[in-house]
Amino acid sequence: MKAEIISIGDELLIGQTVNTNAAYIGEHLTDAQVTVAKVTVIGDEEDIILDAFAMAMKNYDLVIVTGGLGPTHDDITRAAVCIFFQCGLVRNEDVLSDVQARFKKLNRPLSRINEEQSLVPEAAIAIRNTMGTAPGFWIERDGKIMAVMPGVPYEMKAMMTSFVLPRLTVLNSSAAHYTAKSTLLTTGIPESTLFEKLGSLDEILQGAKLAFLPNPEGVKMRITVCAATKEIAESRLDEIEQKIRAAAGRFIYGKNEDDLAEVVGRMLKERGLKLATAESCTGGNIAGRITNISGASEYFERGIISYSNAAKVELLNVDINTITKFGAVSEEAAKQMAVGIRLNSGADIGLGITGILGPTGATPDKPIGLVYIGISDANSVKAVKLQFGDDRVLNKKRATQAALALIRRMLLGISFDV
């Protein structure tokens, strides 16, 4: 079964509202083994809506429409449905009693325009609205389906869950194939290097699909496998994941919705270790990521944001001669910060980070984007040198992610190299 989603509403076109509805519907149709081939966003204009209906019903088996079902003058989707299916409106007693009950509960008088919301196109089965007043419509015609729902996200979601998805599952149960997917999360390796490390994709994938999705914090790899049954699809997905991990596992910190700060936090907690951070260039971002996780106080002891040299010397015991000789942005300073915060806090692991995030502060031998990260435990202190780009806020995100990745690698005892 192939589908198009049509989202109706001027607010989507002018960018006032982000189209989260289409993402929600796309995700749930995909899970229901329906292939979403297209999303079309149009304004509240009759001609354009009718053209979009005609194109979609011609090309696809299922058309999901949202938006334009409200009670005011600018909502014209119901009228467009009547014109398209050449039918009139008929009062639906179930919907009328839903609307009446709703207004009674809210203790508000029922207005005429709300009462008129119980008028449903003759061609449609009404989808009752448990979260608002406008009903949805389910229309089957010539072996194709159109489902029309309000644009209010929670009203649409309730109709998807209680009506649309269960019906689709029944209609689509003879589907010959099942889709399994997962997303592996990497950091610290560029897209092109990752691509090369994997070697022959055809050999790994054998017909499955792999997409690379880069963002400032790393590259995600989305794997999609289609097979005749759920068991076969999941077993093939598992095999592909294993092959990819064998080639690039050092860079893979998790999958799907995993957060690197949570992964690192879990590892610290399991090992009974405490972490303390000394941040210069990232200005508290690393501690911020770590403390976004509930329960972080079990493994995060303290952080120092040593923005001034005085703070580095007073709070982290960085040697002023080190700063004079090598600079505050140097491998030596990063190491001393890592050791200083560990010893002063009594934590097991100390992290120190110093760099030039830009746009100002570069020197002839120290460009914008240069960052040193030091990490210290009872046995050793190590440092890495990284070079990011020109954008201050992106550099902060990247440096924060790199620092978390470094803690992960230290805890796992794997190499710091790319």
114-143 residues in contact with a copy of itself (CB under 8 A) are: 114, 130-131
Would you call 57 exposed, middle or buried from its count of C-beta atoms within 10 A (0-12, 13-18, 19+)?
buried
Residue from 90, 235, 389, 414 binding a copy of itself (CB under 8 A): 389
**Size, binding site for a copy of itself by CB under 8 A:** 107
- The interface region with a copy of itself, picked from 77-85, 167-175, 234-242, 387-395 by CB under 8 A, is 387-395
Which run of H or E residues covers position 150?
none
Residue from 173, 174, 200, 294 binding a copy of itself (CB under 8 A): 294
**363 interacts with a copy of itself by CB under 8 A:** no
CB 143, min distance to a copy of itself, A: 22
List, in sequence order, every beta strand (DSSP E) within 187-279.
209-215, 218-227, 252-255, 275-279
Quick note: the x/- pattern for a copy of itself over 160-189, rule CB under 8 A, is: ---------------------x-x------
Which CB sits closer to a copy of itself, 46 or 122? 46
Contact 248, 194 (CB under 8 A): yes
Q: Which two tokens stand for residue 267?
A: 């590892």
- The interface region with a copy of itself, picked from 81-89, 166-174, 291-299, 406-414 by CB under 8 A, is 291-299
Q: Which two tokens stand for residue 240?
A: 């592909």
**Which residues from 259-278 bind a copy of itself, rule CB under 8 A?**
277
CB 6, min distance to a copy of itself, A: 11
Q: Which two tokens stand for residue 154?
A: 């929670």
Contact 148, 76 (CB under 8 A): no
Amino acid type, 303:
G
Measuring CA to CA, which residue among 37, 67, 64 is closest to residue 53? 64
**241 interacts with a copy of itself by CB under 8 A:** no
CB 241, min distance to a copy of itself, A: 17
**Which residues from 15-54 bind a copy of itself, rule CB under 8 A?**
15-20, 22-28, 30, 36-43, 48
Residue 237 makes CB contacts below 8 A (sequence gap 6+) with 180, 181, 182, 208, 223, 225
